[in-house]
Amino acid sequence: MKKKALIFGITGQDGAYLAKFLLKKNYIVHGVKRRSSSLNTQRVDDIYLDPHKKTNFFLHHGDLTDSLSVLKIIEKIKPNEIYNLGAQSHVGVSFDVPEYTANVTALGTLRILDAILTLKIQNKVKFYQAGTSEMFGASKPPQNEKTKFYPRSPYGIAKLYSHWITVNYREAYNIFACNGILFNHESPLRGETFVTRKIVMGLCKIFLEGKGMLYLGNLYAKRDWGHAEDYVKAMWKMLQAKQPKDYVISSGKQYTVKYFIDLVCKELGIKIFWKGKGLSEKAFWNNKNIISIDKRYFRPTEVNSLMGNSNKARKELKWTPKHNIRSLVKDMVTEEINRINKLSI
């Protein structure tokens, strides 16, 4: 009998990659999406078929802020595995909407775990909770499973609640529940407001049009970047293990935002030069200013340095990423150029 997976956050980057991965593993995949007046399924359109036809992929309306909808969906689907990837996941936005971020990102996790208990299926289902390196925040790198948490944003704090409530329900009620503490992972499906996608989109447009301006914030924030395609495999591997544990998933390498920009420019064949310091730092191409700093994009409390140590996952789960930062950038740039060219036809 085929396994059934239920994914909260199906329309996001990770949800889309995970769904496609599980379908290849011969799962029946159910995804939960919020009701919207506009279609928001672009990332899964290539696998979503007419529900009247035979398919192993199904979408359901639901909301992590609604306990009853969460419970009803789980009761209806009776999944073998639940992946909670749903969240208000933009760090900068979390400062503007901290209450909403907490309601979705923190309490949403609690609602799923409580539904598992209410339905008395704690011995029949496995649960994955999507954690984040933002929970480490100001802690010194490299960060691993034993590193002290020190979140620096409402998003990081909400995720930390989710982390500990998952641990608590695992220990109190013997639920097979795992936290994946994933460091930054990107792809061509990354949301357009996230810095890596914003950089790729902006520079590709400038390259094709020969003009334009890209405004950014902290160029010297250091991050550990991987590819989402690799990281969703780690999620699945956690739920196939004999015992539920928490794992850091990362590349183990660290680069600045400025270095990421330079890699994108190299991939495009753009030779830029930098001039100035601080808020006055700018990048030029063909004697045209194409990148400038806007202080509005700095966070109220910055996280300056993140780099993970994923030795535990590599050893126990036999997880090995196939991408590095250069192949990630190449993938993002190639797909962005293709997307822009299709729109111009």
Catalytic residues: 132, 134, 155
Which residues partner with 214 through β-bridges? Answer: 291
Helix (H) / strand (E) containing 21: helix 13-24
What end-to-end distance do the CA atoms of the chain give, in Å? 45
Q: How far is residue 334's CA from residue 200's CA, in Å, rounded to a whole number?
A: 10
Name the token pair of 33. Answer: 């999406």
- Give exposure, 195-204, as e/b (b: 16+ Cβ within 10 Å): bbbbbbbbbb
Is the CB of residue 254 less than 8 Å from the CB of residue 222? yes
CB half-sphere exposure, 77, CA atoms < 13 A: 32
Burial level of 324, CB count in 10 A (0-12/13-18/19+)?
middle
Tokens 């109190």, located at residue: 172
Cβ-based neighbours of 126, under 8 Å, separated by 6 or more: 80, 81, 82, 176, 177, 178, 239, 244
- Beta strands, E only, the chain: 4-8, 28-33, 57-61, 81-84, 126-132, 176-182, 185-186, 214-216, 222-223, 226-227, 247-249, 255-256, 273-275, 282-285, 288-293
Q: How far is residue 258's CA from residue 281's CA, in Å, rounded to a whole number?
A: 11
* Residue 251 to residues 193, 292, 297, 333, Cα–Cα distance (Å): 23, 29, 26, 20
Name the token pair of 338. Answer: 């293709």
